[in-house]
Structure 1
Amino acid sequence: MPTEVSIIIVSYNTKALTKQAVAAAYASSQTHGLEVIVVDNGSTDGSQEALKKAFPMLVLIQQKTNGGFSQANNRGAQEAKGKYLFFLNSDTEIEQGATDVLVKELERSSKVGIVSGMLLNEDGSVQPQGGALPNLLNIKAWMMFVDDFPLVNRLFLPYQQSRSSYFTARHQMGWIGGTAVMMRKTVFSQIGAWDEHIFLYGEDIELCLRLHKAGFLSVYTPEAKIVHLKHQSAGAERAAKGEVEGLLYIWKKHFPAWQLPFLRLILLTGAWLRILIFGILLGDDEKKRTYTEIARSLAVAGR
């Protein structure tokens, strides 16, 4: 069967997780020819040797250094033979048939630029992802916890959609998480690949912004299911910092310069609010330390 879908997995010191992800990837399609490409970012935990032994048919790209999520995805896309590119995190297990569902979604309309499925936690509960494309108003609502109120959350699509019931139906979204996304290779080439200036976090939002500007839709479907061990491949603390850094970069690239000081102020206010709630009131020292570092970096950057 000719290769129709190239599944690209970025790995960095996640040997056991990556082996599970690769095994599930090979079993994820009933009707389409697959190739699985793992781009290893210089792992030192024996990942490369273990993958070679377990999956002789695997396309393994061994990088000497960790160039980041975007760079590794682009490297995998360069080697891909498939018509469809399926970017998949190493801490995921895609369920059987999910690849076929995502291909079908892309084939529904040439306007669909990127698709993702339902992310699930280990216990089977829905893991929210994506939301509206960012603007100052919805970033402020997010940082001030305004969009956590049920009524507000239902009136408009927030920057980060956290309502689990939302994900029981198909939706067009502003952006979808890069955990498990599929695109046509032609569209990927047209809009210019992943932005390698973003090491980790925010690259999916930036990609969807470019897709939107080019006239493409970002689509979510609950019919394709993927288990995601959230932040197992990176870390929650790094995620919080990465989100802020990613937004600052996105604003510099895509938005008017006058908005950047307002964004910094919104993010700084939100960081102090989280220090108060999580660190002082709830006694979470790790989150207090994380958001204190974020607040300091924003204060320095705003001078």
Structure 2
Amino acid sequence: MNPGATPPRVAVVVLNWNRTADTIECLASLARVTYPGAEIVVVDNGSRPSPREQVLAQFPSVTYLENPHNLGYAGGNNVGLRYALAHGHQYVCVLNNDTVVEPDFLRAAVAAAESDPRIAVVGVKVLAFRDPSKVWVAYGKLTYGHGLVQLVGFYADDSRFAVACDVDWVPGTALLLRRSALEQIGLFDEEFFAYHEDVDWCTAAREAGWRVVFAPSARILHKGHGTSGQGYVTPRQYLSGHNMVLFVRKHARWYQALRFLAAQLAALPLQYLTRRWRGEQAGVFLKIRGMLDALRGRPLPLEELGLR
């Protein structure tokens, strides 16, 4: 940004689903950001009971939107994205509610985005909440291996994570999205519901000729609670399997799809044996079921998974 220029209008969308304490701590950190005039938009994804009064009592200046039921990460954040676009914001930061931001994170992210109009999205350096000397995740690589993607992080915050760079994708923990890119590419694909929608959007952006950039000077802390349960036998396994296949069908070339298939055939038996020893083999079956449902085009069993 040029000194003295009017800074771009930015909205920060924070999605909440039954984790109000985390959301309040996140909002408290956002109240200290140095970026001028950012609008904070809380989207509640059908929490029971509704935290509306509690949130607005402590943060009366936030914009509060409420969904009737859980729309997932993709659908819930899309509500906030639509609001931000309708109200003229030039950038929208999608931020997980289990994060605490550094005061200058938004200023640094916007500065990175403003350096090149071809940048569709900026990802930030995500540090571990309990040990901020460690990088939780910086960015991701698209491998078409057994996990489809590889996260880059989980190391000390050193020179490996000190330089801005173009990457395959940046995680949805915190994304700064450019308005014109959203208008061209569209919002998050709600078929993904949760998990891999960030990979999908970044891939679509790169396919359309946009840049996806990691900005290490923008920093946040991440607790990593998640909203689909802890442990291995959780809805996350179903959604992971389902959405990997959905992504491959949507984006992969034939040789990439073949690589993904070979990786699954090699990895799933080993995963079953490992998880069976731990009594967690049901998680592997959930993952396989998700894959098969995606191949067959079946709707997500959200009520059965406890997600609605």
TM class by smaller structure? 0.7 to 0.9
Distance 1:118 1:65, change over 3 A: same
Aligned equivalent of 1:44, options 48, 51, 56: 48
Structure 1 residue 184, shift from structure 2 partner = 1.5
SS at match of 1:132: strand
The TM-score, its normalising length taken from structure 2, stands at 0.81
Q: Tell me, which stretches of 5 or more residues in structure 1 are unaligned?
A: 144-157
Taking the aligned partners of 2:287 and 2:213, their CA distance within structure 1 comes to 32
Paired position in structure 2 for 1:153: none
Distance 1:54 1:297, change over 3 A: closer
Tell whether the 8 Å contact from 2:120 to 2:181 is kept in structure 1 after alignment: yes
Structure 1 residue 121, shift from structure 2 partner = 1.4
Paired position in structure 2 for 1:88: 95
Using the TM superposition, name which of 194-203 and 120-129 deviates more: 120-129
SS at match of 2:144: helix
Structure 1 residue 186, shift from structure 2 partner = 1.8
Paired position in structure 1 for 2:302: none
Paired position in structure 2 for 1:192: 186
SS at match of 1:131: strand
Q: Tell me, which stretches of 5 or more residues in structure 2 are unaligned?
A: 1-5, 297-308
- What is the letter of the counterpart of residue 242 of structure 2? E
Paired position in structure 2 for 1:99: 106
Taking the aligned partners of 1:183 and 1:300, their CA distance within structure 2 comes to 31
Aligned equivalent of 1:161, options 152, 177, 183: 152
Tell whether the 8 Å contact from 1:268 to 1:298 is kept in structure 2 after alignment: no
Deviations 1:21-79 (A, max 9, x none): 12212322x24211110111111034222112111111111111111111121111121
- What is the letter of the counterpart of residue 96 of structure 1? P
Using the TM superposition, name which of 252-261 and 118-127 deviates more: 252-261
Paired position in structure 1 for 2:65: 61
Aligned equivalent of 1:226, options 220, 230, 241: 220
Q: How many residues align?
A: 280
**Is 2:168 aligned against 1:131?**
no
Tell whether the 8 Å contact from 2:125 to 2:218 is kept in structure 1 after alignment: yes
Paired position in structure 2 for 1:177: 171
Distance 1:259 1:61, change over 3 A: same
Taking the aligned partners of 2:203 and 2:95, their CA distance within structure 1 comes to 20
CA RMSD of aligned residues (A): 2.6
- What is the letter of the counterpart of residue 141 of structure 2? A
SS at match of 1:44: coil
Q: How does 1:114-125 map to 2 (within 5 A)?
A: 114-123=121-130, 124=132, 125=134
Tell whether the 8 Å contact from 2:238 to 2:290 is kept in structure 1 after alignment: no
Paired position in structure 2 for 1:152: none
Paired position in structure 1 for 2:299: none
Deviations 1:173-205 (A, max 9, x none): 101101100012122111111111110001000
Distance 1:72 1:293, change over 3 A: closer
**Is 2:211 aligned against 1:217?**
yes
SS at match of 2:81: helix
SS at match of 1:109: coil
The TM-score, its normalising length taken from structure 1, stands at 0.82
Higher helix proportion: 1
Paired position in structure 2 for 1:155: none
Q: How does 1:4-43 map to 2 (within 5 A)?
A: 4-28=9-33, 30-43=34-47
